[in-house]
């Protein structure tokens, strides 16, 4: 009697048990999609795409406006003080902006004076007077009224010039001899004169030779090298010989040279004086030292 009862109770216990659930593997788990975050990221990407420059446009002073572009500079234009520069291009705008030369100027640029700014055609500007600047390559750039700067066009800046007499002292003359002596030529061709006048007064060099008989000689005058674009442009020479003396010839001057080796050949026949004076003119950028 007990055995059937035990079996019945055991059967009821088995029928009431709940089946165990298998824990899903990590591979089967699917992450939930964060829809708002995904949409936000997508909107951010679209915004960045919209801010990328397209068709020569930029985000800046003139948002969405095409940049000014200089296409051609008129051949007669000169990048020099007092001269005009004319050029054509596009996207300059109806309201005049600003045109600069970029280079070795105060602040790195030189503002040009606007002479003509038509809706279409040639824009004309004038280079102002400026000193203390050497010749050097520069760049022409236009900035429109909205503040957008355009391309840069190369140009050679030619500084304003000034002409002065070179001081003929030891600072600027490497060698200046009013008589070279016997060692300059073969044999006794060059003899020492009885007296030699040798004087420098600022930019004036004075040489004189006096002899009781025949005499001949060569004087040497050599300069130091000029710097910063300066050049020799003039040799002002005056002869003041008396009686049998005279200057035979003078050599060594080269126009636009930066350094000179001058020679003055003189001769005295039967006694007399060979006497002369000279100056050297130089030209270079105004306000810029030549040494």
Q: Within the chain, what is the greatest distance between any pair of CA atoms?
A: 177
CB-based contact 280:223 (threshold 8 Å): yes
Tokens representing 266?
Answer: 């003189």
pLDDT computed for residue 181 by the predictor: 58
Residue 28: alpha-carbon gap to chain centroid = 70
Strand partners, 113: 126
The domain locations on the chain are: 69-159, 164-285
CA separation for the pair 268, 239 (Å, rounded): 13
CB-based contact 212:198 (threshold 8 Å): no
Q: Which CATH number fits domain 69-159: 3.40.50.300, 2.60.40.10, 3.40.630.10, 3.40.710.10?
A: 2.60.40.10
CA separation for the pair 122, 223 (Å, rounded): 48
pLDDT computed for residue 82 by the predictor: 94
Burial tier of 222 (Cβ tally within 10 Å: 0-12, 13-18, 19+): middle
pLDDT computed for residue 39 by the predictor: 47
pLDDT in 10s for each residue of the chain, 291 residues? 445 544 444 454 444 544 444 444 444 445 454 444 444 444 454 454 454 444 444 434 545 568 999 999 999 999 999 999 999 999 999 999 999 999 999 999 999 999 999 877 789 999 999 999 999 999 999 999 999 999 999 999 999 999 999 999 889 999 998 887 544 443 334 455 667 888 888 999 999 888 888 888 899 999 999 999 999 999 999 999 888 899 999 999 999 999 999 999 999 888 889 999 999 999 999 999 998
Gyration radius of the chain over CA positions:
45
Residue 202: alpha-carbon gap to chain centroid = 34
pLDDT computed for residue 286 by the predictor: 93
Collapse the DSSP code of 23 into the 3-class scheme (helix H, G, I; strand E, B; otherwise coil) and give the result.
coil
57 DSSP assignment: B
pTM of the model: 0.67
pLDDT computed for residue 180 by the predictor: 72
């Amino acid at each position: 009697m007990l055995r059937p009862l035990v079996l019945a109770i055991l059967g009821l216990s088995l029928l009431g048990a709940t089946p165990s659930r298998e824990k899903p593997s990590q591979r089967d788990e699917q992450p939930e999609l964060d829809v708002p975050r995904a949409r936000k990221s997508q909107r951010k990407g679209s915004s960045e795409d919209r801010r990328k420059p397209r068709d020569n446009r930029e985000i800046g002073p003139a948002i969405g406006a095409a940049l000014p572009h200089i296409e051609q500079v008129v051949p007669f234009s000169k990048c020099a003080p007092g001269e005009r520069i004319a050029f054509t291009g596009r996207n300059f705008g109806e309201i005049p902006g600003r045109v600069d030369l970029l280079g070795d100027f105060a602040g790195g640029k030189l503002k040009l004076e606007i002479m003509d700014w038509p809706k279409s055609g040639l824009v004309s500007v004038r280079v102002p007077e400026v000193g203390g600047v050497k010749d050097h390559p520069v760049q022409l750039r236009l900035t429109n009224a909205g503040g957008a700067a355009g391309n840069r066009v190369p140009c050679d800046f030619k500084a304003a010039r000034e002409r002065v007499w070179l001081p003929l002292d030891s600072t600027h003359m490497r060698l200046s001899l009013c008589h070279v002596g016997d060692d300059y030529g073969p044999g006794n061709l060059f003899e020492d004169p009885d007296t030699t006048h040798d004087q420098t007064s600022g930019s004036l060099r004075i040489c004189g030779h006096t002899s009781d008989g025949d005499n001949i000689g060569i004087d040497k005058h050599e300069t130091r090298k000029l710097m910063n674009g300066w050049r020799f442009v003039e040799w002002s020479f005056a002869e003041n010989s008396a009686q049998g003396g005279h200057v035979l010839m003078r050599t060594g001057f080269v126009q636009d040279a930066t350094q000179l080796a001058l020679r003055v050949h003189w001769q005295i026949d039967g006694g007399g004086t060979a006497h002369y004076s000279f100056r050297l003119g130089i030209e270079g950028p105004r306000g810029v030292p030549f040494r």
